[in-house]
């Protein structure tokens, strides 16, 4: 009967969960007094499981199952994130498809719709996680907006507010005209092919007439030799009627619509071209508003014209300049990107839609020097992909000082990164951290717990709905309408899920009094490196600020999962891998094992069906091994209850112990691929390819092999939980469905001593078998049974001749001390094998080998001539040279083997 993965996986998962095997006390009978805690990165409630999630959850499940089986009181904390912007966008789009705007519903009714969507979408992603076979403590599942976590968010906010680490003010922020304020990490910068508009700003009359200061028009004309210097405008076009004959300077911008907000023009004080213009004035095109020419070392003299327009309210760098020079800040569009009264006739247009119209008007009036193609980096909202604007807005900020303690603790070694180089990225980002904008112009999320009373008092309150103003005692107050950045609540995840700040909400069901003591700091974190700054860093400084200790001892950051060609997966590229489709096609075990085998620390993972097939072949291999063993016995004892007496059993037990030691070491060092590879090598190569085959010559060892195989299923369990559970029970004659104890709460294998002497003997047995097989292959008897083979070596293997005879297909093996004449001979490292040539027609064999020898001689000569040709070597691409060098090495290796076979036949 074939192994039906789909049926087994759905059936076993349900049993595990119903029996409470994922909970913290599941392994009470093997408890060792230690605890292990790991936090699930809470997936967005709007999302679906993608291949990156599958990798993260697989690695977390490996660690959780490993620790659970090792006797640790284990908490893998599951949950979902409310994902403010993403979720609100999804629900808004659904309403718009029905012709409904959220404003028509109002905040309360809209939030009811969002909660409905949350229940539907959240249930789907949790179903997908279960399909992967992961084992978090589902009874403790949290949501970043459940009652307990809402309390924790208010507690954290109030603590920071009272400590002066949360402040409100008008600052330059990243602004999405759809989603509102964004933090720096929520802006995606992409290459953009746009235009660079060179605009003419004419000097004011009083500036150009003062000859003592700027030398008059004649002197200004000399400056035309310098790029960007003052120019005389020649009225020689039909558009000139709207321009002046006055001299002008040229500024360049990629956003001509922002010039309405210019309040200065800036040059470098050391720029000789413009020294005489500092302090003078220019007029803004079309508007005629005068702005001053100022000096600031921020200007790069070598870039463009060396003249820069200053728009303090709409450019990050200009914002700083505006503050330094006490410039006016003119906001030219509203929160939706609609141009205002400062933009003259363009008032009411959307900022991007207005660009071409504004440029066209400027050009028609003679204010455009030139327009050229230009490629630059443009920021986009990471959710809706809208172009992000620098925008001055009154927002709430967490001051950057909050990170100081976390930085110090990390650099004292209180947390370690795997791979270790990520500490450099952490330090670089954290040390340059800017104040974090935490207010979002949304309805879905944690509403900022700040209240404004008519008496003028402002306060933060831990109570969701305070009854009165703490200053005047009145009740005529309102709450801040904005919500907190999603990352503010998920930044508390390592402590809030353990009860910190929850009050009494959900106590005794989702968290318990001892949780913080038992599970904080969390033992480790596993997540993708791409959210190091979004999430990991925020958890580090928010948790350390709240409880005075870093949230994780170890932080493992895995690389990205890419397609087989190393390309990033995207819908537009059509190379996205849906983990559920792969589970349906292969199985959860196969997907998990493939991801683990490919997960090398610090390297991107290249996912392919070919890799999945390799894992499928592995499952078939171990399944067929179990079939063979069960053909010889109905059940097998547990290894600890089995006495290993046979040499073959002792050999495989020794190799199993070596495997256990290697697997444990690699898991402990988070080298997941090396741990999986060790199990793969043992089960495929040593147990199945040799152990099973050798047992056919010694049936008395089968019972011992069965016990070792059962124990190896426990070793495999964290990686492939379903098939390992299934085969363990089949080999035991038990049934999980009938109430037998699950492998997942049995003790994980512990490495015993290796038996070096028995390993040495069986290595020689295997070497002898391989040597005889090679000798047979030389005379085209590879799969045929022969009467006799001779073996020569330093160790007496006569006790093991039954293994050699069976697997080398020899009726008899004779052990000799001298070289045997008249034989084909194979020489390996420790043994020599001989097969008599009497009765064998070697003529066709010699003909074939000599033909191969001649062909290889020609190939070697051709490649050597090419590689000895100086002209070819000098001009050939490096890849071609490398290919030819590799081909030459391969040809020489084949040639030596053919010559060796000819020598064995006495031809050379």
Q: What is the pTM of this model?
A: 0.84
Which residues, 6 or more positions from 582, have their beta carbon under 8 angstroms from its beta carbon? 590, 591, 612
pLDDT of res. 42: 93
pLDDT of residue 214: 32
Q: Which residue, chain included where needed, has tokens 């933090």?
A: 183
Tell me, rounded to whole angstroms, the distance of Cα 620 from its chain centroid: 30
Between residues 747 and 837, the one the model is more confident about: 747
Mean pLDDT, rounded, for 875-899: 88
Confidence of residue 237 (pLDDT cuts 50, 70, 90): very low
Q: Which of 69-73, 608-612, 738-742, 903-907 has the lowest mean pLDDT?
A: 903-907
All residues at 6 or more sequence positions from 733 whose CB lies less than 8 Å from its CB, including other chains: 634, 635
For 487-543, write each residue's pLDDT tens digit.
Answer: 999 999 999 999 999 999 999 999 999 999 999 999 999 999 988 988 999 999 999
Average pLDDT over residues 197-209: 79
Q: How confident is the model at residue 876 (pLDDT cuts 50, 70, 90)?
A: confident
Angle, helices 756-778/878-904, rounded to nearest 10 degrees: 80
- pLDDT the model gives residue 321: 92
Tens digits of per-residue pLDDT, 721-739?
999 999 999 999 999 999 9
Which pLDDT band holds residue 357 (cuts at 50, 70, 90)?
very high
Considering only residues 47 and 288, tell me which one the structure prediction assigns the higher pLDDT.
Answer: 288
Q: What is the pLDDT of residues 651-693, one digit of tens each?
A: 999 999 999 999 999 999 999 999 999 999 999 999 999 999 9
Residue 230 binned pLDDT confidence (cut-offs 50, 70, 90): low
- What local confidence, expressed as pLDDT, does residue 571 receive? 66
pLDDT of residue 163: 97
Look at 362-366, 570-574, 588-592 and tell me which has the smallest mean pLDDT: 570-574
Query: What pLDDT does residue 243 have?
Result: 52
Mean pLDDT of 822-833: 89
Please, what is the angle between helix 721-732 and helix 702-716, to 10°? Answer: 150
pLDDT at 408: 96
At 232, give phi and psi (nearest 5°). -90, 135
Work out the mean pLDDT of the chain and round it to a whole number: 90
Bridge partner residues of 522 (DSSP): 552
CB 477 within 8 A of CB 425: no
What does the alpha-carbon distance between residue 765 and residue 798 come to, in Å, rounded to a whole number?
A: 10
Kindly report, residue by residue over 451-475, the tens digit of the pLDDT: 999 999 999 999 999 999 999 999 9
Is residue 219 scored above 60 in pLDDT?
no
Q: Cα separation of 703 and 630, whole Å?
A: 10
Report residue 4's pLDDT band, with 50, 70 and 90 as the boundaries.
confident
At 830-867, the pLDDT tens digits run 999 999 888 777 777 777 778 888 889 899 999 989 88
- In 354-488, DSSP assigns E strands to 368-381, 389-398, 416-418, 436-437, 439-440, 450-453, 458-460, 477-479, 483-484
- Identify the pLDDT of residue 662: 98
Q: Is the pLDDT of residue 238 over 90?
A: no
Q: Give the pLDDT of residue 633.
A: 94
Rounded average pLDDT over 755-765: 97
Q: What is the mean pLDDT of residues 168-184?
A: 87
pLDDT of the residue at 574: 77
Q: What percentage of the chain carries pLDDT values higher than 90?
A: 71
CA distance to 43, 80, 90, 130, 737, per residue, from 124 (Å): 11, 11, 15, 10, 26
For residue 232, pLDDT over 70 is answered with no
Residue 596 has pLDDT above 70, yes or no: yes
Six token digits for residue 325: 């020079």
Q: pLDDT tens-digit profile of 427-446? A: 999 999 989 999 999 999 99
Six token digits for residue 412: 């004292």
Q: What is the pLDDT of residue 514?
A: 97
* Mean pLDDT on 589-594: 98
Q: How many CA atoms lie within 13 A of 184 on its CB side?
A: 12
Average pLDDT for 773-801: 92
Which residue, 772, 803, 801, is CA-closest to 789?
772
The residue length of the chain stands at 908
Which pLDDT does position 727 carry in this prediction?
98
* Cα 710 to the center of its chain, rounded Å: 34
Question: Is beta strand 264-267 parallel, antiparallel or unpaired with respect to 290-295?
Answer: parallel
Nearest-5° Cα angle at 522, 516 to 528: 145
pLDDT band of 90, cuts 50, 70, 90 = confident
Do residues 352 and 337 touch, judged by C-beta distance below 8 A? yes
Residue 207, pLDDT score: 56
The residue whose two tokens read 């580090």 is: 540
Residue 217 in this model has a pLDDT that exceeds 90: no
What pLDDT, on a 0 to 100 scale, did the predictor assign at position 630?
97
Percent of the chain's residues with pLDDT above 70? 95
Residue 240 has pLDDT above 50, yes or no: no
Please check the confidence at residue 749 and state whether its pLDDT lies above 50: yes
What is residue 343's predicted lDDT score, i.e. its pLDDT? 94
How far apart, in whole angstroms, are the C-alpha atoms of residue 367 and residue 372? 15
Checking if the pLDDT of 234 tops 70, the result is no
Quote the tokens at residue 628: 């063979």
Angle at alpha carbon of residue 779, lines to 773 and 785, rounded to 5°: 55
Distance between CA 781 and CA 143 in Å, rounded? 68
| Confidence tier at 244 by pLDDT (50, 70, 90) | low
Instruction: Tell me the average pLDDT across 397-413.
Output: 96
Per residue in 245-287, pLDDT (tens digit) is: 679 999 989 999 999 999 999 999 999 989 889 999 999 999 9
540-583 pLDDT, tens digit per residue, is 999 999 999 999 999 999 988 988 888 887 766 778 888 999 99
């Amino acid at each position: 009967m074939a192994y039906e993965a789909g049926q087994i996986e759905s059936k076993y998962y349900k049993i595990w969960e119903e029996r409470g095997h994922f909970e913290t006390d599941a392994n009470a009978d093997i408890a060792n007094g230690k605890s292990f805690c790991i936090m699930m990165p809470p997936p967005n409630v709007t999302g679906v499981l993608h291949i990156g999630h599958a990798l993260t959850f697989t690695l977390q499940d490996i660690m959780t199952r490993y620790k659970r089986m090792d006797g640790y009181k284990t908490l893998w904390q599951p949950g979902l994130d409310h994902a403010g912007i993403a979720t609100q966008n999804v629900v808004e789009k659904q309403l718009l498809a029905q012709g409904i705007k959220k404003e028509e519903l109002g905040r309360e009714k809209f939030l009811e719709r969002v909660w409905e969507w949350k229940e539907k979408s959240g249930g789907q992603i949790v179903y997908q996680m279960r399909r992967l076979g992961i084992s978090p403590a589902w009874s403790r599942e949290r949501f970043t907006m459940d009652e307990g976590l809402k309390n924790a968010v208010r507690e954290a906010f109030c603590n920071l507010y009272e400590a002066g680490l949360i402040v409100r003010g008008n600052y330059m922020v990243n602004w999405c005209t759809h989603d509102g304020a964004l933090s720096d990490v929520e802006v995606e910068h992409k290459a953009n092919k746009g235009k660079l508009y060179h605009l003419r700003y004419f000097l004011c009359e009083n500036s150009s007439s003062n000859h003592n200061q700027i030398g008059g028009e004649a002197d200004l004309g000399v400056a035309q030799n310098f790029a960007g210097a003052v120019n005389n405008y020649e009225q020689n076009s039909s558009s000139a009627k709207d321009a002046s004959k006055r001299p002008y300077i040229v500024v360049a911008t990629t956003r001509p619509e922002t010039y309405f907000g210019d309040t200065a023009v800036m040059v470098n004080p050391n720029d000789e071209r413009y020294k005489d213009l500092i302090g003078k004035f220019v007029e803004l095109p079309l508007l005629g508003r005068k702005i001053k020419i100022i000096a600031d070392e921020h200007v790069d003299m070598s870039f463009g014209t060396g003249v820069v327009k200053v728009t303090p309210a709409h450019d990050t760098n200009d914002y700083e300049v505006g503050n330094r020079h006490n410039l006016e800040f003119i906001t030219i569009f509203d929160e939706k990107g609609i141009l205002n009264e400062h933009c003259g006739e363009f008032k009411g247009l959307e900022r991007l839609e207005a660009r071409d119209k504004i440029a066209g008007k400027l050009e028609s009036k003679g204010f455009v020097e030139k327009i050229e193609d230009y490629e630059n980096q443009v920021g986009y909202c990471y959710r809706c992909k809208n172009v992000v604007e620098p925008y001055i807005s009154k927002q709430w900020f967490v001051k950057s000082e909050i990170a100081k303690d976390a930085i110090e603790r990390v650099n004292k070694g209180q947390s370690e990164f795997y791979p270790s180089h990520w500490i450099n990225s952490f330090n670089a980002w954290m040390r340059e951290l800017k104040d974090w904008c935490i207010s979002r112009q949304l309805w879905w999320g944690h509403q900022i717990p700040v209240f404004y009373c008519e008496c003028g008092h402002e306060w933060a309150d831990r109570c969701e709905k305070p009854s009165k103003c703490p200053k005047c005692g009145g009740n005529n107050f309102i709450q801040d309408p904005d919500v907190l950045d999603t990352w503010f609540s998920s930044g508390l995840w390592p402590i809030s899920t353990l009860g910190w700040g929850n009050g009494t909400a959900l106590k005794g069901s989702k968290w318990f009094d001892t949780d913080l003591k038992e599970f904080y700091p969390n033992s480790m974190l596993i997540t993708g490196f791409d959210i190091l700054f979004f999430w990991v860093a925020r958890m580090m400084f928010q948790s350390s600020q709240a409880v005075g200790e870093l949230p994780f001892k170890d932080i493992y950051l895995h690389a990205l999962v890419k397609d087989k060609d190393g390309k990033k997966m995207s819908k537009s590229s059509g190379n996205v891998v849906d983990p559920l489709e792969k589970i349906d096609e292969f199985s959860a075990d196969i997907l998990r094992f493939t991801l683990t085998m490919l997960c090398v620390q610090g390297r991107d993972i290249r996912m392919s069906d070919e890799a999945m097939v390799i894992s499928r072949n592995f499952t078939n291999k171990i399944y067929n091994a179990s079939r063979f063993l069960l053909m010889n016995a109905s059940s097998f004892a547990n290894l600890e209850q089995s006495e290993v007496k046979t040499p073959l059993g002792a050999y495989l037990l020794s190799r199993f112990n070596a495997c256990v030691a290697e697997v444990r070491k690699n898991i402990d060092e988070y080298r997941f691929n090396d741990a999986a590879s060790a199990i793969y090598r043992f089960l495929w190569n040593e147990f199945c390819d040799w152990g099973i085959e050798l047992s056919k010559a010694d049936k008395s060892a089968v019972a011992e092999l069965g016990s070792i195989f059962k124990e190896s299923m426990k070793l495999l369990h964290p990686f492939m939980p379903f098939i390992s559970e299934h085969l363990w029970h089949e080999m035991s004659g038990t049934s999980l469905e009938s109430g037998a104890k699950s492998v997942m709460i049995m003790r994980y294998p512990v490495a015993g001593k290796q038996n070096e002497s028995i390993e040495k003997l069986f290595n020689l047995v295997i070497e002898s078998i391989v040597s005889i097989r090679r000798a047979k292959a030389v005379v085209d008897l590879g799969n045929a049974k022969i009467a006799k083979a001779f073996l020569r070596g330093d160790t007496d293997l006569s006790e093991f001749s039954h293994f050699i005879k069976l697997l080398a297909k020899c009726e008899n093996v004779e052990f000799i001390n001298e070289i045997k004449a008249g034989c084909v001979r194979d020489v390996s490292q420790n043994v020599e094998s001989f097969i008599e040539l009497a009765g064998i027609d070697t003529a066709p064999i010699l003909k074939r080998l000599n033909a191969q020898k001649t062909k290889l001689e020609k190939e070697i000569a051709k490649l050597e001539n090419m590689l000895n040709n100086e002209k070819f070597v000098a001009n050939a691409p490096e890849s071609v040279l490398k290919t030819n060098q590799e081909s030459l090495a391969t040809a020489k290796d084949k040639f030596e083997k053919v010559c060796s076979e000819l020598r064995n036949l006495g031809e050379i």
